[in-house]
Amino acid sequence: MKITEFIGLQIFEFLYLLLLAFLPFVVLQRSVSFVILALIGLWVVYYSYKKLTTKAVEALGKTVLITGCDSGFGHALAKRLDAVGFTVFAGCLSKESDGATLLQNTSDRIHTLELDITKDESIRECLETVQEHCGSKGLWALVNNAAINYIGDVEFSSMDAYRRVGEVNLYGTINMTKQFIPLVRTAKGRIVIVTSAQGRLAVPSNSTYAITKYGLECFSDILRLELQGFGVKVVVVEPGNFGGSTGMLSPLALSRMEEEFSNMWKHAHDDVRTSYGKDYLDSQYKSVIQAAATAGPNIVPVIDAMEDAVSSVSPSIRYLVDGDKSWYDHSNFLIRIRPFIPDKVLDYLVKRVSVNTRPKPALATY
């Protein structure tokens, strides 16, 4: 086998060959086998102990506010927290949406609110309503979940797109958090911020969305340190590949994305069109559809993490949640090994993952 062919193998194939190469050594060296088995055993014991000793707070009498409940994670979490006894204020972009209507008919403990986190007046009205309900008890948890997606290379993404996504994902979340900190501080509760695996791994064509998630990662870390003295916990939930299982890549969202790709081409500079070619954008849209099909089959793992972030006495600081239909989440795997490999190696692996699902520009070389 030529070295170029070997390098071109998928990560899984490479690891498989590596395992075969070292298998005789592991079998012959009993001490090595013992150490590996001991480490696996310790991890299983630790994981089991953590699960068995995890304590949940008393849900009854505690109030949670969730943004972005029209669909996806927010909608599912509202129903899950209601089921365990929390009073839930579900922020929806429209109270007339199908998701809001479903939540209104779910339980007396769920209260839907029309909330646009990009508008100060809407946030103030939400704060007044929640404050009136909570009274002196305060707000147990604020779950910042609302977000919008956008896909496009830097040269195709307009400044308007960067601002529009930033207003929702980054500045809207920051504004919500700042307004509700006093209520959460009163309850000595927690602030849960839903970022993304893309907030920890740079992937081509995702700068508009990812920089907002990178920003929230930093914001969360600083906020956690600032609020520790008040007994307030700040928790980050980082979903992996679940886009196809949420509203982010629903048929309606994909239709809008197709229109966005068309507008990208329409407003692109001539030199950008020449460099990339129309076929690039057309095939890129098809690759997005393909990527949506590889997403985790359901969002239950994310909802489990979000519920634990809200209800656990001692929640984790971060929940990196694996998605994907394959046996492992490619992006999350790279996030985990990132501290141990050089940047050039990481760049190569990221391009290997992303190039398999995205086309090449007309004049680009990989």
What Rg, from alpha-carbon coordinates, does the chain have?
Answer: 23
pTM for the full predicted model: 0.83
Q: Which residues are catalytic?
A: 209
Residue 202 to residue 211: CA distance in whole angstroms: 9
Q: What is the pLDDT of residues 96-121, one digit of tens each?
A: 899 999 999 889 999 999 999 999 99
Residue 86 to residue 90: CA distance in whole angstroms: 12
Domain spans in the chain, listed from the N-terminal domain onward: 3-49, 61-355
Q: Which residues are within 8 A (CB) of 145 and not within 5 positions of it... i.e. 6 or more apart?
A: 66, 67, 68, 69, 72, 73, 74, 77, 194, 306
Residue 128 to residue 112: CA distance in whole angstroms: 14
Q: What is the pLDDT of residue 287?
A: 77
Does 219 score more than 50 pLDDT?
yes
CA distances (Å), origin 48, targets 41, 42, 45, 364: 11, 10, 5, 49
In Å, how far from its chain's centre is CA 6? 33
Which of the two residues, 201 and 249, has the higher pLDDT score?
A: 201
CATH architecture under which domain 61-355 falls: 3-Layer(aba) Sandwich (3.40)
Residue 301 to residue 323: CA distance in whole angstroms: 8
Q: What is the pLDDT of residue 209?
A: 95
Does 267 score more than 50 pLDDT?
yes
Does 26 score more than 60 pLDDT?
no
Q: What is the pLDDT of residues 275-333, one digit of tens each?
A: 999 888 888 888 777 777 776 778 999 999 999 999 999 999 999 999 877 777 888 99
Residue 139 to residue 153: CA distance in whole angstroms: 40
Residue 60 to residue 109: CA distance in whole angstroms: 10
- Rank 14-28, 75-89, 264-278 by mean pLDDT and report only the highest: 75-89
At residue 207's C-alpha, the angle toward residues 250 and 122, to 5°, is: 65
